[in-house]
Chains A and B, each alone.
Chain A
Amino acid sequence: TQLLEQSPQFLSIQEGENLTVYCNSSSVFSSLQWYRQEPGEGPVLLVTVVTGGEVKKLKRLTFQFGDARKDSSLHITAAQPGDTGLYLCAGAGSGGYQKVTFGTGTKLQVIP
Chain B
Amino acid sequence: DAGVIQSPRHEVTEMGQEVTLRCKPISGHNSLFWYRQTMMRGLELLIYFNNNVPIDDSGMPEDRFSAKMPNASFSTLKIQPSEPRDSAVYFCASSLWGQGNTEAFFGQGTRLTVV
Please report A residues at the B interface, Cβ cutoff 8 Å.
31, 33, 40-45, 48, 50, 88, 92, 97-105
Contact = CB atoms under 8 A, between A and B. Distances in A.
Contact of A44 (B44, B102, B106): B106
Chain B: interface residue count, which band?
20 to 34
Given A42-B93, A99-B45, A105-B42, A48 B56 contact: no
Given A40-B108, A42-B93, A97 B100 contact: no
A92 B93 contact: no
B95 interface: yes
Determine chain B's interface SS by DSSP, over half rule.
strand
A45 B106 CA distance: 9
Interface of B: 4, 31, 33, 35, 42-45, 48, 50, 55-56, 91, 93, 95, 97, 100, 102-109
B50 to A, nearest CB: 6
Given A98-B31, A100-B104, A102-B43, A42 B109 contact: yes
